[in-house]
Structure 1
Amino acid sequence: MKPSVRKELLSQVEGLMNQYCNGCFLNKYLKKADGRRAAHRFCISQCTVGEQLRDYGKKLK
């Protein structure tokens, strides 16, 4: 993969995280109620933004 393409993908990932994940009330609630692992599991497996992040991760491989 070209470095410029990789840089663009990483920039898109960072933009998604900054826009949706930082300050996510659902993540904060789940951390408080069920713990950090449960909140992370939800974000990775059920959140729509998490699905997009997984797709970017597959492209980065």
Structure 2
Amino acid sequence: MKHTQIINEIDQLIENYCEGCLVKSELRKEKGKTKAHQFCIKGCTVGEEIKEAGNKLFGK
């Protein structure tokens, strides 16, 4: 898969699922930006998909 295709895949995931995410916004209000970001990376299924796609970019 080409890098541009992977980046487009990541952009689509973020656009469709992350922008306006209620879980992220509530966590951000209650526990802060860092905790919300940690949830997105480790606890969210969409975050996991984004992480996997990012790993493809770097050959991991």
Alpha-carbon RMSD across the aligned residues, in angstroms, is 1.0
How many Å separate the matches in 2 of 1:28 and 1:58? 26
User: Does 1 or 2 have the higher relative contact order (CA < 8 Å, sep 6+)?
Assistant: 2
% identical equivalent positions: 36
Q: Which has the larger radius of gyration?
A: 1
For structure 1, the 5+ residue unaligned runs are none
State the 4+ residue runs in structure 1 displaced beyond 4 angstroms: none
For structure 2, the 5+ residue unaligned runs are none
Residue 55 (structure 2) aligns with: 58
TM-score calculated relative to the size of structure 1:
0.92
